[in-house]
Structure 1
Amino acid sequence: MDYIKRTKQRFDELARSHAWRHTELTPGMVVRFTTMLLGERVLDLGSGAGRDTLTLKHYGVHAQGLDISEEMLAIAQQTVGEATFQKGDFRNLPYPDDMFDGIWANMSLLHLMKKDLPVALAQVRRVLKDTGVLYASFLTGGEDGFVDDLYYAFYMLEELHEIFKRAGFVIFDEVAGDGAVHLFARKK
């Protein structure tokens, strides 16, 4: 079984068991992100059960979610209500070019192997407007691999800067600490 199918299967299992109900969210990052937007259409990339989508909506943006897990998306639709949720893969986003004013990828892109991150970033770049903002957070200081049947990639900050640069993004703000890095980027 490839790593994406294995990770999707685990997220489906977590949704059915309600083990996904965690409350960790970085409210400071949401405030930063929403104040940087020049429009209100936002994609919650890796929306899971919709927690961040709902938070983004409370900050006045028109948020919709994408996730690979049908089980998580079913919960999100019940929880969030009026938002649109769609099943999809970060490496092949089912949206037209230049659709979003912002993309929120909170601890989601780290579930891709490093070889797939540039592919996903190319898709993000394609669907993000020229004036759009990308927020993405990653884990640092660990070893790539499966933890509880979920794949995690860990990055060094310099490594992320290089990957984002090659993908056509400029990182203009970052917050690092506690084993994580939060990046804000725009298209070059």
Structure 2
Amino acid sequence: MDYIKRTKQRYDELARSHEWRHTDLTPGLVARFTAMLLGERILDLGSGAGRDTLTLKRYGVHVQGMDISEEMLAVAKQTVGDPDVAFTKGDFRNLPYPDDMFDGIWANMSLLHLMKKDLPIALSQVRRVLKDTGVLYASFLSEGEDGFIDGLYYAFYTPQELDEIFEKSGFTIFDQVVSDDTVHLFARKN
């Protein structure tokens, strides 16, 4: 079984058991992200159980979620409780959206589930569906060894690695916050 299928399977199990772990969002990050937007159409990339989708919705943007786990998407629909918020099943490496669709993409602790060789593929897809004036928020873990932890695949990045990968993928990181073992970044298309 490849690492994506294994991670998806584990998230399906976690959704059914309600054992997933979420950390609270720093309200300042959501406020910063929404203040940078020039439009209201947002994709919560790797929406999981919908917690971030609901938070973004409360900030008045038109948000939709995407995740690879059908089970997490079912939980997200219940969490958000709004039939106008769409949730789509998809893979970060092949986003099921047209070009230039989103004003912002929120990828909170989601892209870190890709192997490092696949992150540039996902970023090319993000770049494709993000408008030229759009903003990408993404967060990553910086301390650890790449591999499976509790059945979920994680890749760990230094801030310097992320700078290099994002630049090669056609993004400029214009703001970066490093706290404890987490790197939060805001980027725009070059």
Q: TM-score, normalised to structure 1's length? A: 0.98
SS in structure 2 at match of 1:31: helix
Q: Please name the residue that 1:185 is paired with.
A: 187
* Cα deviations by residue, 1:29-67 (Å, 9 ceiling, x for unpaired): 101100000000000000001000000000010000000
Residue identity opposite 2:154 in structure 1: Y
Q: Please name the residue that 1:122 is paired with.
A: 124
1:79 shift after superposition: 1.6
CA–CA separation in structure 1 for the residues paired with 2:21 and 2:179: 24
Q: Please name the residue that 2:107 is paired with.
A: 105
* Residue 93 (structure 1) aligned with residue 95 (structure 2): yes
Residue identity opposite 1:31 in structure 2: A
Size of the aligned set, in residue pairs, is: 188
CA–CA separation in structure 2 for the residues paired with 1:2 and 1:21: 23
Q: How does 1:6-17 map to 2 (within 5 A)?
A: 6-17=6-17
SS in structure 1 at match of 2:7: helix
Q: Please name the residue that 2:60 is paired with.
A: 60
* Residue 76 (structure 1) aligned with residue 76 (structure 2): yes
CA–CA separation in structure 1 for the residues paired with 2:77 and 2:31: 24
Q: Please name the residue that 2:150 is paired with.
A: 148
1:23 shift after superposition: 4.4
Instruction: Give % identity.
Output: 80
Cα-Cα RMSD: 0.8
**Among residues 159, 162, 165, which one is paired with 1:160 in the alignment?**
162
Q: TM-score, normalised to structure 2's length? A: 0.97
Structure 1: which 5+ runs fail to align?
A: none
Runs of 4+ in 1 over 4 A off after TM superposition: none
CA–CA separation in structure 2 for the residues paired with 1:139 and 1:9: 22
Q: Please name the residue that 1:131 is paired with.
A: 133
1:178 shift after superposition: 0.8
* Residue 18 (structure 1) aligned with residue 15 (structure 2): no
1:27 shift after superposition: 1.4
CA–CA separation in structure 2 for the residues paired with 1:117 and 1:26: 24
Structure 2: which 5+ runs fail to align?
A: none
Q: How does 1:26-65 map to 2 (within 5 A)?
A: 26-65=26-65
SS in structure 2 at match of 1:110: helix
Q: Please name the residue that 1:171 is paired with.
A: 173
1:26 shift after superposition: 2.0
1:164 shift after superposition: 0.2
